[in-house]
Structure 1
Amino acid sequence: MRLLTMLSPSSYAFRTMEETLSPFISLASIGWNSIQSADYSFDVSKRSDPGHIIFQLTLSGEGRIRIDERSHKLPAGSGFLIKVPSSFHYYYEQDSAEPWEFIWMNLKGQDAHLFCERLVSSQAPIIHLHSQAEPLQQFWKIYREISNEGLRDSRRISVLVYEWVLAMAAYEKDKSLSTNRMNPTILLAEKFMSENYEKGLTLEEIAGYAGVSKHYLCRLFQKHSELAPMEYLRRRRIEAAASSLRNTDWSIHKLAQQCGFDSVSYFGKIFRSYFNMSPSEYRNKELEFPYKNIYFD
């Protein structure tokens, strides 16, 4: 990677005069290191920086982390995100074939804890990042500005760290949904629903178009998607209805039909569940921040 040829391993620590824990994320230290000694061993329950969050990722070689009395290898592209104190123990194995090269960030602040708890609850403490992953690129941006550009402003550094946090959160979400995006059956079903939401589609028709049974389609969505098939269809219909309410003068009855709802009363009930108001109220309401289209993720 060209970026790495412009950088060299080092470490940087930052201290503030404030004694109280800020709600905002700040950077306590950042570094790039290579070790080959069994002296490198951290029992996280005994670290001297309680209240901090540690991110560490292997670049080459291999480290270890002990979780619930079981040792896990940390080869290139893998690492961890842990709170201090906690019951983990990470270390270098003396008989490893090569040095353990890694990068790290030590974060503090209440927001750092909230981020860690949210990510760790489903993914961690072990995390995986490929070489072109956005969080890894963002890390090198922070490291470069500190080591090469002489960045010392704590506020600017915090902005960069927040960008890393957002990149990490987005990366983990994308990973969790990647099987959905790559599953041809789900992609086919979603495309069919998006292009035919105005029709009175049934689950059987959707599954038939995708070439599977309705029960198998539901199992696929349950395993790989955040939405059930019919909820995905409802959201596309509601999006179309909200746009039509703002951009056409269709009657509510015609609009409901055009957006795939088989009755006005059912349309009104579903619409209210999304917007907490009736279709007519939505059409006539003066919005503080007007928009013509709305999308549900």
Structure 2
Amino acid sequence: MQYINYRESRQRGTADFPIEYHHVSPTHPQYIMALHWHVEFELIRILSGSLKLTVDEEEYTAKAGSSCFIPAGTIHAGEPDNCVYECLVFDMNVLMNKNDDCCRLIRRVIDHQVELPHHFPDSRAGINRIVWSIFDASASKNEGYQLVVLGAMYQLFGTIFATHDYKPVPEKQTRTHRRILQLKQALEFMESSYNQPITLEEMAESVGMSPKYFCRFFHEMTHRTPVDYLNYYRIERACYQLMTTNLSITDVAYGSGFNDLSYFIKTFKKYKGTTPKKFLR
């Protein structure tokens, strides 16, 4: 699983079964879930530790035994704390069959007509039992696991509707929607230009804001300054390259937007608590 691009756009699973399963432990190349979004929906289950999850402008701490639901197109990020977690990224259209009643309910989720909870704590035992069965079947890859996954997904959303565990989406969320779109624009600019020199003025200009207002806006949305997040993203990108390519530390540094090796090492240690050389051991 790679959370490098802010907007992930690729085939999930197969065309016939567009559901993709990932197991993420501390040794995973992208253990920290950087801000990103994708056109599919996502389920996350926490096996151990905790995951500080940001979904649009809301924050949750998901602990072992809990699960999370991420709507399509939603900006989200996760900071694990001694955590092992799993993700299931899926195209909700896989549940759209010829049963009109089922399609009508699933369509309300796909079209964002209803808002489902983003976090199901471990106290939600009934919901989490269903989520666990989805993940267990996905991990097993036993013959017929696809039937188990689809059946459990119907059970999950059926239970949510049966218990009215959702709320209608207000017709107008103009300001919030606009802010999220602006953040996506800023993140796309960083993602496309991180390996080049970028000024604060250029980042602000990418969303039509003054540098001062952009700094305040970005911090409100991400709890980081723009420069801090850019450097954080560059180091995450560098980590991925160090673990998945044979590039030297120097080449990775320059390819990640740093023009000074010593500054790269200093910044790397700030975010990772170790040097690039020790990180590779």
Normalised by the shorter chain, which TM-score bucket? 0.3 to 0.5
TM-score w.r.t. length of structure 1: 0.36
